[in-house]
Structure 1
């Protein structure tokens, strides 16, 4: 252990966190601007063109309904992309070997990657919300709960990104997590429609979608209406986040597929 890490035990963690933040900031056109542009196109389609023409909830325009889902979708996608791409590239290029011999403990390792990814995801979500104010005014029924759910969602998908990066064999495998798992679950989780309007058995099946609870809990906190209670939405989301955290900690603590 170096003298610096002996007297400043948080120095390795801070250094790794700074490195991860600088990594996505250096390519901000790809990591921040591109998802914001994509979300803006969604907002234009569902806000400017359909916002006042469709109504899926009494008392709310379609734009007010769909905007919370688009915000949390931006948080989810970008948080996952940050941890999964960063850790996988470190494995692929061999840089993870140098990192593993540094005095960074597994919890510090996880939290450095997690906090950087959460920062990226929440930044994108915040900008999407700011842009959405052009198309719809949100009531923000419970702003603290909305922020809490966004934090839980970003933390959850930061852990999932770490796990995916460890298990992925190549870039194609990594992209499959986004294209064939996250994307369908997001779209089927009630981003564009309330599951209460679905006929059985599809409405019942939607309750088996873990992303439904993130989306519904976040929307419920913003507009005050949801398909499930706060207790259930936050309980399920927090429970999944906790399981994924311990799963990631176990894999990283063992060095599973991280060492050559």
Structure 2
């Protein structure tokens, strides 16, 4: 078999299940190996958010959309934590490999660009789901919140983790240094997460900001998770599923194209 045919088989032929499983396993083991940083720390942060907002605002805020303020913000905090951790898992894996010079260990094996995207996403989604389950258990124990629509909640949480995991791949490929990665996190990811109805209903915003918020895909993911967990939302859940799915496909396609070209990965 010629080299050209072999490359065609690797890229367009059957899935390299062993390679995909190995890469996904590596990405999962990355966050499990330092669970106090990747799993415990987000739980503490989410708990502090809930405590601070409950004490500072909760007693005076009253009900929001028919539920208490504390109950209303709980799904937003859960989703915000999920998407931040999914983004951090994929982006940090790539940036660390580039800085340490061992990204070649991922590029050299017979893995197609699609298989690499799926492998990295497995780690991001896995970390996001681990965090989501732990926080959900905490909300159930402390606030008595049980999912109103469990399957929808799972769908939106998984979509949120996949979308930000894909964005993390793109950001990790683009960034060559840790300060570039920090800039993307601080000036893009964090504002998108905070300004998407995490702590408020978008109906309370001025008309212009309300319209702008509806162009933010993270808004639909957080809003859909809120509907899945407590049964209230600012937009139609089906619209959120469509926007979340399309956004995930688009960002994953961009990540695939960057990996297929070796953009900012090959010397």
TM-score when scaled to structure 2? 0.89
Residue 56 of structure 1, CA deviation: 4.2
* Map of 1:84 onto structure 2: 91
Instruction: Say if 1:105 and 1:58 are closer, same or farther in 2 by CA, change over 3 A.
Output: closer
Tell me what 1:186 maps to: 193
Which of 37, 53, 62 in structure 2 is aligned with 1:46? Answer: 53
Aligned residue pair count: 256
- Which range is displaced more, 116-125 or 203-212? 203-212
Counterpart of 2:179 (choices 160, 172, 180) is 172
Query: 2:87, 2:124 within 8 Å by CA — same for their partners in 1?
Result: yes
2:223–2:233 CA contact under 8 A, matched in 1 = yes
SS at match of 2:67: coil
Partner of 2:17 in structure 1? 10
Contact 1:68/1:222 (CA < 8 Å) preserved in 2? Answer: yes
Of the candidates 235, 238, 241, which is equivalent to residue 242 of structure 2? 235
The equivalent of 2:154 in structure 1 is 147
- 1:211 and 2:218 aligned: yes
Alignment map for 1:3-82 (pairs within 5 Å): 9-47=16-54, 50-51=57-58, 53-82=60-89
Asked if structure 1 preserves the Cα contact closer than 8 Å seen for 2:98 and 2:176, the reply is no
**Cα distance in 2 for residues equivalent to 1:194 and 1:218:** 14
2:116 counterpart of 1:116: no
Where do 5+ consecutive residues of structure 2 fail to align?
1-5
Unmatched tracts of structure 1, length 5 or more = none
Q: Give the deviation of 1:157 after TM superposition.
A: 0.8
Deviations 1:16-42 (A, max 9, x none): 222222122111121111111111111
Which stretch of the first structure deviates more once superposed, 190-199 or 216-225?
216-225
Residues 117, 124 of structure 1: alpha-carbon distance in 2 compared, 3 angstrom cutoff = same
Distance 1:15 1:253, change over 3 A: same
Aligned position for 2:205: 198
